[in-house]
Structure 1
Amino acid sequence: MRKSFRYVLYIMVGFLIYQVIDSGESGFTHQEVKNTLVIAMITVFVLLLIVRVIKSRYDDRGKE
């Protein structure tokens, strides 16, 4: 993934989160949003670790 594409992806994810919480005018409380975002960050981190492990195994098999 190119570096410039990552920044566009980050902006799109941020915009999506902004739209989901409706810029503070939704029924979500601050604590609910905070807890949801913590869970989402942990989930994304775990998924990235899984992808990294799978990618490294695939690359190691290609070298053999």
Structure 2
Amino acid sequence: MRKPFRYLLYIMIGFLIYQVINSGETGLTHKEVKNTLVISMIVVFVLLMIVRVIKSRYDDKGEE
């Protein structure tokens, strides 16, 4: 994925999260949203690390 497309995707995801939180239709409190976002950021970080490890293993096997 090229960088400009990646940044556009990040902005779109952030905008969607903002709309869900700020819509007023959710029964979530500020503290619940904060905890949910922290947990989701940790999960995304762990998933990115797993993908990086898998990709590096795949690239190492391709060079041999």
Alignment TM-score > 0.5, same fold: yes
Write the distance in 1 (CA, Å) between the matches of 2:39 and 2:53.
21
Sequence identity percentage: 78
**Larger deviation, residues 49-58 vs 1-10:** 1-10
* Structure 1: stretches of 5+ with no match in the other structure: none
**Larger deviation, residues 11-20 vs 36-45:** 11-20
TM-score with structure 2 setting the length: 0.90
Deviating above 3 A after TM superposition, structure 1's stretches of 4 or more consecutive aligned residues are none
Partner of residue 17, structure 2: 17
TM-score with structure 1 setting the length: 0.90
Q: CA RMSD in A?
A: 1.1
Partner of residue 42, structure 1: 42
Write the distance in 1 (CA, Å) between the matches of 2:23 and 2:39.
19
Write the distance in 1 (CA, Å) between the matches of 2:40 and 2:63.
35
